[in-house]
Structure 1
């Protein structure tokens, strides 16, 4: 086991690639031989990312804040705030703490780094438009360090994708990857990429990207579970509920002890998949878990929670309840500027029997392959045009969205009487 500076470097390298167990082991080994702020902070982050927020807070609480230089203060404050926001589920406290630190630092580089993390908090709290403003300012700053760029670019990639602005998603993801800090940010930018690929009708590429992330991580690491979640999201879009359920059951078990925003999202997606499979009781239980875990830190995914309610209602054969919940999903997405997410919700609304979804789809400003297909589908359903519904089914089947295609085919048959 390496010690001293070599041990600290080994811990940091393990953290960067998402090997949290190794990072913890290396960090503890260094601290057994003497105090090292770098090793202590790496250990704290490894603990936090494993969902052990209280342990991480205890490790960071041993630092004498008053004795820290500005660079040391930054190195300590950032992981502590992140731990408060996600693992301790104290987003208001974390934001207030960061703002206090922001008032103490004097360098523009430190300010950019603090802003980058505040932008990430803002995104998770359900304000992607404001988060994008913060991210752009950080990315345009000549004083932003690699840590700031990593946070800002990853958040910007996901925000852009969910807002329906796909052109820069891959470039932002590449910039986040190049920053190499920290490893788990790769999943944030990757979710932006898979979202953009889905809306571009490139489901095979989306699934391959997500599967590569799973293959590059080890269970039971949270990174492995998040990768499984990304694969499951693509599978749900494909209409393969059974395969997504298997992945999400594993992912939710791994993410349940953590404070990641991914945890509530995993329960939401699992409830959707179970509802689509007609498993009424199981969908209801997973929906209850999603609702219990949802809060300010996962507000970005409020539309997914409403879709979970929609498909759970559909499993109960509550058609009006399902349509109303799908409409609320779209409204929640629109309120937050998440146009691409609203479009996905409205496609599900049509599948569930919404005759009014076409007007809402037409109002959205999303330039992608799926958008005109969705509008044609909604108009055909409203008109009861069996031939047009068959065409919509063929179009969705052609890009791999077979669940939508199956429902459109059933609706065409019903229209023929």
Structure 2
């Protein structure tokens, strides 16, 4: 598939060329080097097309490399040194006369024959045309080309690959739409920013159907694929490498990344050096370990495709045997996966344990393949339970339930029975919405369990279910009891922590969450590995509700990294990062992240669907996109059920923003109040505080006492300015509202600060304090713009820019900079009297007495 491929401006590189050619040091030239595919030809072509003087192109080719003066359009039959020297002199004179004041652009200079390279060297010496010379890094080049920068002083710089931002810009332009951030990360890492590889990956993955658009966002699913053209190019490089090097390449292709020690057990040192010299394998230190990786993206895919089945099975078997029993879980998983398609298949026990390792690493796809193989080889109940876990975690909940339902737990060991019951009830409740069946299963199993450890596990799972059904206090009480129970096994403690951390964050007791979360370190096993993200959910929310945004971002990104192998968890953690951006007032960033989260697949857990869509709806409503916000709310309502009762108050808050966006502030305040009532009934006091404060932002002037009461139950730094704003709003106290705004601003809650500034402007307007009103409204307007032109009722009602005409604003800025009226008149090419008239009107409009007061007002408008 061929795209209209965009050309991204390499501004820094173009500037470097222009500066080198325009310098006064007489160098009259520049050399551009870079790896194959980095865009050297595109760069120098764009530069040449911008010149308004004669340009002569020279291109080195492999065909002309062995022909003397291959770049000169004449046949050379002589080999006499004297004749060649004369021809060199004549060619140099001809070029200089033809291109006097012009430029010679040379592409692929490393392929020039020695005499053509000498011609360039002569031109550089004689002060003739300017030279722009591009050559490939790592390729042997004629000595005369090397001498251009070593002896002739031509400037030289290296054209690097795209960084992540440039990669995203190219992808967005090529595909004609937004690209999922995780897809950008994968493609940037896979191509290493190489523009050539980037294009071939996009075209190949589009043709294979792996790169597709879902809900307006481009996403890469499955492995990236390259075009046949690039595959043939890489294959050509492999087949022309020495045989010893090809064996190294094959081993690394199947085992990448491969420790040097493991590779050294399979091949000799000379073979590794040969592969490195051929430019096919690179060795680098990662952490404290020396690793072998292929030198080119996609080379592994090409090698694996081109190898016959028997040889591939043998290589996989060699690697599997070498990696088996490794101390690292990831290595054990790789060894087991390699063994499945090798001549040395691992036993059922090894496959089962590797599947458990894969679940712990959140690599559910690998775990499902290994568990299915283990089951087929007689892995028993443990393999069946592991496979069911992988199905439940990869959007195949119904299949998981069928597998678990046919298992007969009669005669099982109690530990297996408890694991089966907890796993099945969790799948029934969170994925299938069958709450009564889930709790009934836990109750019936409890009647068959006799050990304290088994009972604690069942009770902890029930606490997590109770929390999501809205029974907050019951859940926290049970979780806290299990936390301190001596007989509680690690699985019970993990379930208890998953319920406790989330509940405490929503209750406004976030200071208790870190200690509880720390206690779970090292407790996760294969059947509780996903619970670490429930704990993380509580950690991140606790920090957000407390106004500790930098720490919340660090925490969220840590969990995103842990979830990189699992779609459902990654999108869930990404939703929380979207909530953080929303709390900071970064609407554009929040919108992009939440749109990704709502369009991404693999979200079998309805909690994430509800939460992501509600947050997206709030973001859209704040941006004035009410129709799209309504659609997001409808998607959230479609996913609502017994397992998402915890988010009923959040739904009410979101609906209040939709009502506010339609201009019905009375209804908006009523919805926010009812959301606060519902949250308080469940004991979710942090959510209740958010709902009450939302009503304050809509203009409710009867919330001071309620937020004051909530401030005694909700911890953190955010509740204080919320309370201050509510009390000041009741009293129409402009300075009190300014104080709240300043506190929000200090915490990094720009949008909350903008609303408080806007409300203070309205309060000052009612008292006739024109100067204070303008200062507050200007600051509100500035913050709203920084948030992405947010459209809240307070900002729309009271905030605005300085009430100056464009010319008055220009004069005001210059006057605030301490320029005299005469200097301003000279700058603007007007009379001094005209400037004096503008200054008079500015003072009257802004109610300032002098330039010092004017400077304060301008500073308020432009402050970050």
What TM-score do you get using the length of structure 1 for normalisation? 0.96
In the alignment, which of 531, 539, 545 is matched to residue 199 of structure 1?
545
Return the match for 1:385 from 721, 728, 733: 733
The corresponding residue for 2:468 is 124
Provide the C-alpha distance between the structure 2 equivalents of 1:404 and 1:135, rounded to a whole number of angstroms.
35
2 CA distance for matches of 1:408 and 1:7? Answer: 60
User: Which stretch of the first structure deviates more once superposed, 176-185 or 389-398?
Assistant: 176-185
CA contact (8 A) 1:267 1:289 kept: yes
**Which residue of 376, 385, 399 corresponds with 2:747?**
399
2:647 is the counterpart of 1:282: no
Out of 595, 610, 617, the residue aligned to residue 271 of structure 1 is 617
Match of 1:134 among 478, 496, 506: 478
Query: How far apart are residue 3 of structure 1 and its match?
Result: 4.2
Taking the aligned partners of 1:184 and 1:349, their CA distance within structure 2 comes to: 36
Q: Which residue of 2 aligns with 1:58?
A: 402
User: In the alignment, is residue 349 of structure 1 matched against residue 690 of structure 2?
Assistant: no
Does 90-99 or 359-368 show the bigger shift? 359-368
Distance 1:31 1:152, change over 3 A: same
Tell me how far apart the structure 2 counterparts of residues 370 and 303 of structure 1 sit (CA, whole Å). 19
> What is the alpha-carbon distance in structure 1 between the residues aligned to residue 477 and residue 521 of structure 2?
21
Q: Separation in 1 of the partners of 2:565 and 2:733?
A: 48
Instruction: Write the deviation string for residues 210-237 of structure 1: whole angstroms up to 9, x where unpaired.
Output: 1222233326611110110110111111
In the TM superposition, residue 135 of structure 1 has moved relative to its aligned partner by 0.5
Residue 716 of structure 2 is aligned to residue 372 of structure 1: no
- The answer to whether 1:253 aligns with 2:565 is no
Residue aligning to 1:412: 760
Task: Quickly say closer, same or farther: Cα 1:203–1:366, change in 2 above 3 A.
Answer: same
Paired with 2:490 and 2:576, the residues of 1 have a C-alpha distance of 25
- Is 1:87–2:431 an aligned residue pair? yes
CA distance in 1, matches of 2:548, 2:508: 15
| Secondary structure at the counterpart of residue 177 of structure 1 | coil
Question: Are the counterparts in 2 of residues 173 and 189 from structure 1 also a CA contact under 8 Å?
Answer: yes
Match of 1:100 in 2: 444
Instruction: Give the stretch that moved more between structures: 89-98 or 314-323.
Output: 314-323
Match in the other structure for 1:29 = 373
- Of Structure 1 and Structure 2, which has the larger fraction of its residues in strand? 2
Larger of the two Rg values belongs to structure: 2
Matched residues in 2 for 1:316 and 1:296: separation? Answer: 30
Is 1:109 equivalent to 2:453 in the alignment? yes
SS of the residue aligned with 1:264? helix
2-structure distance, mates of 1:361, 1:412 = 19
Gaps of 5+ in 2: 1-336, 338-345, 766-864
Offset, 1:188: 1.7
Tell me, in whole angstroms, the C-alpha distance in 1 between the residues paired with 2:670 and 2:702: 11
1:93-129 CA distance string (max 9 Å, x none): 1001110111111111110000000000011111221
Change (3 A) 1:255 1:375: farther
Indicate the residue corresponding to 1:330 in structure 2: 676
- 1:223 corresponds to 2:565: no
Cα gap change, 1:177 to 1:303, in 2 (>3 Å): farther
CA distance in structure 2 between the partners assigned to 1:26 and 1:298 by the alignment: 33
Q: Matches of 1:256 and 1:289 in 2, distance apart?
A: 16
Aligned to 2:61: none
State the Cα distance separating 1:196 from its structure 2 match: 2.3
Moved more, 259-268 or 200-209: 259-268
Structure 2 CA distance for partners of 1:146 and 1:220, relative to 1, 3 Å: closer
Following superposition, the deviation at residue 65 of structure 1 comes to: 2.4
Residue 257 of structure 1 deviates from its aligned partner by: 5.0
- CA deviations 1:229-288 (Å, max 9, x no partner) are 110111111112221121112212236751342221111111111111111101111111
1:262 counterpart SS class: helix
Task: Please say if residues 505 and 545 of structure 2, whose CA atoms lie closer than 8 Å, have aligned partners that are also in contact.
Answer: no
Q: Which residue is 2:578 aligned to?
A: 232
Contact 2:559–2:573 (CA under 8 A) maintained in structure 1: yes
Partner of 2:667: 321
Q: Give CA deviations for 1:141-183 in whole Å, capped at 9, x if unaligned.
A: 2221111000101211111121122332101111233311422
Partner of residue 639 from structure 2, selected from 273, 293, 297: 293
Please report the TM-score for the alignment, with normalisation by the length of structure 2.
0.47
Residue 69 of structure 2 is matched in structure 1 by none
**In 2, Cα distance between equivalents of 1:363 and 1:255:** 42
Greater RCO (CA < 8 Å, at least 6 residues apart): 1
Cα deviation, residue 35, structure 1: 4.3
Matched residue, 1:5: 349
Distance 1:254 1:24 in 2: 21
Q: Deviations over 1:34-79 (max 9, x none)?
A: 2421111111111112221101112212312224232221121111
- Name which of structure 1's ranges 386-395 and 108-117 shifts more when overlaid on structure 2: 386-395
- Structure-1 residue corresponding to 2:534: 188
Q: Which residue matches 2:652? A: 306
Q: How far apart in 1 are the matches of 2:669 and 2:738?
A: 22
3-state SS of paired residue (2:687): helix
Distance in 2, Cα, partners of 1:260 & 1:292: 10
Q: SS of the residue aligned with 1:66?
A: coil
For the 8 Å contact 2:457–2:491, the answer to whether it is kept is yes
Q: How many residues align?
A: 417
Partners of 2:347 and 2:502 in 1: how far apart? Answer: 38
Paired with 2:429 and 2:413, the residues of 1 have a C-alpha distance of: 24
| RMSD value, Cα | 1.7
Contact 2:352 / 2:379 at 8 angstroms: preserved in 1? no
Q: What is the CA-CA distance between 1:392 and the residue it aligns to?
A: 1.1
Pick the structure with more helix per residue. 1
Distance in 2 separating the partners of 1:366 and 1:128? 16
Contact 2:567–2:603 at 8 Å: present in 1 too? Answer: no
Paired with 2:565 and 2:453, the residues of 1 have a C-alpha distance of 36
Aligned partners of 1:20 and 1:221 also within 8 Å: no
